[in-house]
Amino acid sequence: MSSRKGQRDAARVVREQLARERRRRRTIWVSAAAVVVLIIAGVVGWAVWSNQRSDTFTTPPGANAAGTGIVTGGGPVTVDIYEDFQCPVCKQFEGSTGATLEQLVAENKAKVVYHPVAYLNRFSTTEYSTRSSAASGCAAAGGKFREYAKALFDRQPPEGSAGLPDDQLIDIGTGVGLDRGSFGGCVKDGTYKNWTEHVTDEASRSNVTGTPTVMVNGQPLDNPTPEALTAAVAAAGK
């Protein structure tokens, strides 16, 4: 009798172990399936997001080879300026250092590449950073990028506002000598909005985290005063 009871107990233990093993395998398969579902969802989500972004963009005349900025001058030292037309500090930088940059270009000491990024869209209810940057591309197409950029900073709207409407962006352009028909059509059509996206994305990939950012031959200039900029260009040109 005790022998049969022992056999029954042993058989019960084996059944329980087999049942636990089946449950463990089922849990593993369920977990694996859930992971696969999450991966598929992630891939699909990325594909949707990617498709919503355009891989093509129109580069304005006067842009550099990479299509990331508008070039002025042809000196031996390259100065990269990353700016957002909604950035108050960028406006201050333009006011204090813009003339120095133009002098360095006029003296053929530097080539200045202006990268109009759209980092501050969150501070506008109408994505003003993108719209103004795209409009500056239209101004570049009309040969008036610098004149237009300075006028944009002069008319800079306060952060948190809607920003200037397109009609005012067009008025500013005509005020610096751009043709209302071609320039206005370019602004209204958003011709260079995808370009702005490209400029902004490439700036982020280059670890540009704020505006204004100034680089001299690829080296950041932490305190871009007129004196510091002039000295950095002189040193880089030796």
24 and 119 belong to one structural domain: no
C-alpha closest to that of 78 among 116, 115, 119, 133? 115
138 and 21 belong to one structural domain: no
Supply angle C-alpha 132, 133, 136, rounded to 5.
90
**What's residue 230's pLDDT?**
97
φ/ψ bin of 17: left (φ > 0), alpha (ψ from -120 to 50), beta (otherwise): alpha
**What's residue 5's pLDDT?**
57
| C-alpha 94, offset from chain centre | 20
Is 59 inside any structural domain? no
The string of pLDDT tens digits covering residues 193-232 is: 999 999 999 999 999 999 999 999 999 999 999 999 999 9
110 and 187 belong to one structural domain: yes
42 and 75 belong to one structural domain: no
Can you give the residue range of the structural domain that contains 29? Answer: 1-52
Once rounded to an integer, what is the mean pLDDT over residues 87-99? 97
Q: How confident is the model at residue 238 (pLDDT cuts 50, 70, 90)?
A: confident
33 and 91 belong to one structural domain: no
112 and 227 belong to one structural domain: yes
Once rounded to an integer, what is the mean pLDDT over residues 25-49? 47
Is 151 inside any structural domain? yes
**What's residue 38's pLDDT?**
39
41 and 86 belong to one structural domain: no
* Beta strands 70-72; 213-216: pairing state: unpaired
Is 149 inside any structural domain? yes
pTM for this one? 0.77
Is 64 inside any structural domain? no
Q: How far is CA 210 from CA 37, 75, 189, 232, in A?
A: 38, 26, 28, 20
φ/ψ bin of 190: left (φ > 0), alpha (ψ from -120 to 50), beta (otherwise): left
* Number of separate domains in the chain: 2
Is 218 inside any structural domain? yes
Q: How confident is the model at residue 24 (pLDDT cuts 50, 70, 90)?
A: confident
Residue identified by tokens 């842009």 is: 63
Task: Select the more confidently predicted residue: 20 or 136.
Answer: 136
CATH of the domain at 111: 3.40.30.10
Is 63 inside any structural domain? no
Determine the Cα–Cα distance for residues 39 and 33; give it in Å rounded to an integer.
10
Residue 57 buriedness (CB in 10 A; 0-12 / 13-18 / 19+): middle
Is 78 inside any structural domain? yes
107 and 28 belong to one structural domain: no
Predicted confidence (pLDDT) at residue 89 exceeds the cutoff of 80: yes
119 and 228 belong to one structural domain: yes
Supply angle C-alpha 89, 214, 206, rounded to 5.
110
C-alpha closest to that of 213 among 204, 224, 199? 224
Is 60 inside any structural domain? no
86 and 193 belong to one structural domain: yes
Q: How confident is the model at residue 51 (pLDDT cuts 50, 70, 90)?
A: very low
